[in-house]
Amino acid sequence: MKIAPSVLTADFSKLTDELKSIETADYLHLDIMDGHFVPNLSFGPAITATISKTTSLPLDIHLMVTDPLHWISAFAQSKPEFITIHVESNDVEQTLKLIQKHQIKAGISVKPNTEIKALEPYLNQVRLILVMTVEPGFGGQGFIDSMMDKVKALVDIRKEKNLDFQIEVDGGINLETIKRCKESGVDIAVAGSFLFNLEDRKKGILSLR
């Protein structure tokens, strides 16, 4: 299991120390929110660029925005490994192509109430599928266990069609829920509140892994 701490729950007043505390993780997950697609705001390309210079971890950017096409070129400057957009957003096909044009792995995410069928047109274009295990936009929510059915369906589809994507989950991850994730076939788990509420984050990452 690969672990991607979510910087959204870090203390930004001491960001360098916070990033150092999770440097043994596999990715750094950045939640970008526009206040429209989800009822919250986070940060933009400038802060992302600063973070990219402060950490050696590969960036995993999750755009919770209505019009991701407008933002790809700006976020691409930070050279992330992944940029993930939502299947519920605008211009999905065009946006995925632009991400790939920047030599970045494209990802697609699905909200809890969206059927897995919505992802089907894009499965051969992405390298990451992010299944939201909470409603996107807020930290500290409870894990929606029924989302593991989506994960299992994606594992089956990936095998049947010989596709090349990793399956990621985000929301409510802790030492109990990550067991369900592993059993279901998750490759990458995003952990926010659980990790950043710990004093020893490196031990927490190891425990989750």
From the list 26, 31, 60, 187, the catalytic residue is: 31
Q: DSSP strand E in 28-122: where?
A: 28-33, 59-64, 82-86, 105-110
Active site residue 17: no
Residue 156 bears catalytic tag: no
For 104-112, the CB contacts below 8 A with 24+ separation are: 104/76, 104/79, 104/80, 105/81, 106/82, 107/60, 107/62, 107/82, 107/83, 107/168, 108/84, 109/62, 109/84, 109/85, 109/136, 109/170, 110/86, 110/150, 111/86, 111/135, 111/136, 112/144, 112/147
Query: Which among 26, 34, 60, 170 is annotated as catalytic?
Result: 170
Q: What are phi and psi of 58, to 5 degrees?
A: -65, 140
CA–CA dist 86, 32 (Å, integer): 12
Stated length of the chain: 209
| Residues belonging to the active site | 31, 170
